[in-house]
Amino acid sequence: MGKTAFVFPGQGAQSVGMGKDVYEASEAGRSLFRRADEALGFKLSDIIFDGPEAELKQTANTQPALLTVSLALLELIKERVRPDYVAGHSLGEYSALAAAGVLSFEDAVRIVRARGEFMESAVPGGQGAMAAVLGADREQLAALCQAVSGEAGAVELANVNCPGQIVVSGTAAGVAAIVERGKEAGAKRVIPLEVSGPFHSSLMKPAADQLQQVLEQADLKDSTVPVVANVTARPVQSASDIRGLLTEQVVSPVLWEDTIVWLIEQGVDEFVEIGPGTVLAGLIKKTDKSVRVRSVNSLTAAAQLLDELG
């Protein structure tokens, strides 16, 4: 028998109106949106369903919004499908931790709201940047980042997404130098990203320090299923280890390709992406075409999955 992993998307998967079908049709899903509003003290659900898009795209809103929609979608299938492992991409790691019983829903929503605020304010606007590097060799790109950091300004690997797709993050000057010199690492294209900060780089240290204080106060439990951590691409279950890794995650690269490779090595042959969009499905397929990936991103998709299970 093969194994199943639940995976949860991060920032970039959001869209206005996401999850509204779940809110309208599922009492369990609707309850989560209401609980998010209560936990945060404002109507997050209005921002999710009605926008405007600019408000939803603010990191401090995007993070709790995606977590809420992902976990509302999970409510539709969790009684029938059980994962052997869970993982999430950056912010999605918090959805995975809530799914694995590490964090209560309310705590998860409040923590990612604070995390978003800390990340937005860590670096003054315009001083940091990120870019997607397509087709580069990972080792060569890491070496180029090191060389550029010594000359133009700090720039580091931020997301190792799949073969041929790596995101770099750092100072505006450092990232601009990678855009200019990416071909030296074998890059076919380097695309600057529209982001509000240099996420998953050492420049996020102020945000990591603030988040650490929040996490120290939070009630984390050991996980019910192994969570594959972004920082190590290895499983973790103890609450104290998870707490440390979540702090590190803010300033460390998301090792997504390594996570998927490790899960497949453990016998995972079915991935269920739970949350808006199909970003992770694409990354997983680019890592290994042979595995099955299903995206539970709507009421219809959840019903189809349950229907196929019989």
Angle between helices 299-309 and 59-77 (to 10 degrees): 30
Angle between helices 205-217 and 105-121 (to 10 degrees): 160
Q: Cis check for the bond before 253: say yes or no (omega within 30 of 0).
A: no
Examine the residue annotation and report whether 90 is marked as an active-site residue of this protein.
yes
Q: Pick the catalytic residue from 95, 200, 223, 252.
A: 200
Alpha-carbon distances, residue 52 vs 46, 47, 125, 131 (angstroms):
9, 7, 21, 25
Cβ atoms of 197 and 128 within 8 Å: the answer is: yes
Catalytic hit among 26, 45, 90, 169: 90
In the β-sheet with 155-162, what is the strand arrangement from edge to edge?
155-162, 165-171, 128-134, 189-192
- 95 assigned to active site: no
In three-state secondary structure terms, 272 is strand
Q: How far apart are CA 275 and CA 282, in angstroms?
A: 14
At residue 84, φ and ψ (nearest 5 deg) are -85, -30
Question: For residue 128, what are the CA distances in angstroms to 124, 195, 205, 288?
Answer: 8, 9, 13, 33
Asked if 96 and 88 count as a contact pair (C-beta separation under 8 A), the reply is yes
- What beta strand segments (E) does 12-92 contain? 85-88
Among the listed residues 25, 14, 111, the one whose alpha carbon sits nearest the alpha carbon of residue 72: 25
Catalytic residues: 90, 200
